[in-house]
Structure 1
């Protein structure tokens, strides 16, 4: 069930009406939210609702054992087994066939080819997000940052539909305390929520979808059939598309959660303003980058172990962060590029060398990120190399890029550079409107966006992760 569809609109209106009708009972409210979240997830494939429930039971039970354990050693054993179990779920569904295929290639190169039991496993939507959420919960219980919560709260934490399939990765410490109280909805929350939903809907349905269908997808599908100029514009177009697509989902998720009375953390902060790759990861997909920092980088030793240890931990973290996105070598290369540049930045800073001027630093960082997006978007390593090679020479005069597509790229970047305070200022004005007028304005905006958007709605990019 995709956010920008009629099916989801009807589902949301029904869920919203039912949830607020029972707002006097917090337990019933959470139960109904949980059932609604399972309906939302089951609309994609009912079989995997059982996996979602099993994952919640696993993390609830492991957290209870950690909390009840009388020695630190027992707690460490339980949290280790719990993390391994979560990784087992993620590894089986996401990486089983990949590793078996690589084993087959390796055996073939040694003259030992075998028929291996490939299973063509269906990847559950959002499995990377809810397994990471489960692991962070167990680790936080082990570290004493959160208490072991009840089964209903943990199951809802991992199943809550606004963030279920594409994040943000909302941590237990952020959401569990909110579940303990009966939420209240005020005009400020409603105004900002509706603004975020409409804002996100436009970025996804108009900007990201149009760029995807009419520029990025055809050029990446067959780079050799397009001019060097189109390849360059498609690379820039994808940088705009992925920002508008993913930030749109995050905006809509934050807005939808707010309409149910819950606050999600911000997930984007103008990432293309970054002056370094390290700065980029403080601004892009903040819930994932902070997760990698707190649970992987620090777990590996962080800045301890001297300069070599720090650089090693950065590189390992980014390689695994790349591989988290999918079972393809291109994701590993993408993560390695980001990790390698961050290592260079660290060495540069430690050597006391002067930094680049601000504008130049932003331009250099943006183009390194855009180069990385080519590997992220390409289906194969050879495809990415062919794409980059095609940009190096050839036809710089002919282009399939229309003025509309060029305008959407500019508009997408304009959205990106919009001052953060602008949305808050607009929301403050919206809250002064009568309820009927705000509702009418929202409905008109959605109708206009629906009339402007490309026919059909492609899944959000991060649904595949």
Structure 2
């Protein structure tokens, strides 16, 4: 089921909210069970054939976690339990996500013709990483004993289940346990609706609106210079508003239940360095890769050379997490190389003189954006040779056409760029503070009414009117 669909907006979400708060007047546990069952139903509506796999994953990881938390095990037994849990999770993820990719490469090397076609379960990357973090923290002694209903809701919580953010047990389960979240809060409900409306508008009007221009670069046999740039920038902005829209909608839906989700998207194209970009783009994935891969590999504790090697390995695996294809490997390798160059530059130029700080930041922002755009070509292209063809066209101004269609596309791309760089993001507009559990304080004080509410109503109306028959979020594929 899609957030940007009439059945979800008009039927599923109101019914789940009504049941959650009705049960909240009678019990503290019943709403948790209800929301977990509703989340499983949400998943089953779109991927019923993989519901069993999700349930087995929850039972397996909860059991391993219970051993690590409650059982009196020796250090060797604890380590064996952790290895069993993590290897089991990665094995399932590997079979479903990478078996076909590995088989294709073996066929290419050995000249065989083995065919493997396995349907990828929706959301498997997100709920697998969420549970691996839980197991590692349980092994480190950082997890309290949780009941099965609370753990199941933590994994299946439908605002995040399909496309993130990657949740952390220490942040989410205590919220599910609090009694006050089981009672409706008019302020949080209003803020949730407004944030959801903004996200819906971003998805159905902005992301879906510019999507046709992507074909100029990625579906043309021989794009010209201007077509390649317009198409690649169109995809750059489509992906931005698609992911930003999903992140807003997830936060908005969760706020209606009184639950604060972590921010996962924070104006990444405003970053002045690639390090800052990864602190703003898919923020929970960046934190996971840092805490559960980069730091365990040694981080920056073993010298500069190993630090760069750890960065490259981390980003290569981050690229593979997004998809089983060599294009994603190249995308991850590029970002790994970008990060190495960025850290090397920071080591050589630790302090920029004050008069040059602003020009340096502007130059850094332009260079970072261009580097990200180049990497997105590999992220979107079907094959590496297609990506190289597009990049070749982007580097060859002699092929410029600049006809009426290209001018119209350029104007549209410019408008989208102005929105991204000049308009405030949703967190700024709504004052969303996940850490302090605050949102919409200006709205509560009456400083944004009534004009802001009219604008939010228009965003919701246009967002609903812009709903297409079937328009998945791009991150559903990962």
Does the CA contact (< 8 Å) of 2:5 and 2:467 recur in 1? no
Aligned-pair distance for 1:223? 4.7
Does the CA contact (< 8 Å) of 1:277 and 1:365 recur in 2? yes
Which is further off, 37-46 or 62-71? 62-71
CA distance in 2, matches of 1:189, 1:72: 45
Distance 1:339 1:407, change over 3 A: closer
Tell me, which stretches of 5 or more residues in structure 2 are unaligned? 353-358, 433-438
Q: For each residue in 1:244-301, what CA deviation from the matched residue of structure 2 results, as whole angstroms up to 9, or x when unmatched?
A: 1001111110110111121111111221121211111111110000000000001111
Partner in structure 2 of residue 277 of structure 1:
274
Describe how 1:294-309 pairs up with structure 2 within 5 A: 294-309=291-306
CA distance in 2, matches of 1:308, 1:91: 30
2:434 paired with 1:421: no
2:377 paired with 1:374: yes
Partner in structure 2 of residue 456 of structure 1:
469
Distance 1:411 1:20, change over 3 A: farther
2:177 paired with 1:170: no
CA distance in 2, matches of 1:456, 1:410: 27
2:392 paired with 1:389: yes
Partner in structure 2 of residue 92 of structure 1:
95
C-alpha RMSD over aligned residues? 2.5
Aligned-pair distance for 1:446? 2.5
Query: What secondary structure is seen at the aligned counterpart in 1 of 2:363?
Result: helix
Partner in structure 1 of residue 417 of structure 2:
410
Q: For each residue in 1:7-63, what CA deviation from the matched residue of structure 2 results, as whole angstroms up to 9, or x when unmatched?
A: 111110111111111113121111111111111111112111111111100110000
Distance 1:411 1:21, change over 3 A: farther
CA distance in 2, matches of 1:308, 1:154: 40
Distance 1:260 1:415, change over 3 A: farther
Which is further off, 331-340 or 19-28? 19-28
Tell me, which stretches of 5 or more residues in structure 1 are unaligned? 109-113
CA distance in 1, matches of 2:300, 2:93: 28
Aligned-pair distance for 1:187? 3.5
Match of 1:220 among 213, 218, 221: 218
2:138 paired with 1:128: no
Query: What secondary structure is seen at the aligned counterpart in 2 of 1:267?
Result: coil
CA distance in 2, matches of 1:266, 1:247: 10
Aligned-pair distance for 1:311? 0.7
Partner in structure 2 of residue 202 of structure 1:
201
Q: For each residue in 1:165-204, what CA deviation from the matched residue of structure 2 results, as whole angstroms up to 9, or x when unmatched?
A: 0000111111111122221443432232122101101110
Query: What secondary structure is seen at the aligned counterpart in 1 of 2:51?
Result: helix
CA distance in 2, matches of 1:411, 1:35: 43
2:75 paired with 1:72: yes
Distance 1:329 1:69, change over 3 A: farther
Counting matched residue pairs gives 455
Which is further off, 72-81 or 346-355? 346-355
CA distance in 1, matches of 2:248, 2:143: 27
Aligned-pair distance for 1:429? 5.4
Distance 1:313 1:380, change over 3 A: same
Describe how 1:128-167 pairs up with structure 2 within 5 A: 128-167=125-164
CA distance in 1, matches of 2:428, 2:461: 26
CA distance in 2, matches of 1:418, 1:70: 48
TM-score (norm 1): 0.92
Query: What secondary structure is seen at the aligned counterpart in 1 of 2:469?
Result: coil
2:10 paired with 1:12: no
Describe how 1:341-356 pairs up with structure 2 within 5 A: 341-352=338-349
CA distance in 1, matches of 2:158, 2:298: 34
Describe how 1:231-310 pairs up with structure 2 within 5 A: 231-310=228-307
CA distance in 2, matches of 1:31, 1:264: 19
Describe how 1:15-34 pairs up with structure 2 within 5 A: 15-24=16-25, 25-34=27-36
Q: For each residue in 1:80-137, what CA deviation from the matched residue of structure 2 results, as whole angstroms up to 9, or x when unmatched?
A: 11011110111011000110111111112xxxxx342x33111111110000001000
Partner in structure 2 of residue 111 of structure 1:
none
Partner in structure 2 of residue 400 of structure 1:
405
CA distance in 2, matches of 1:444, 1:255: 16
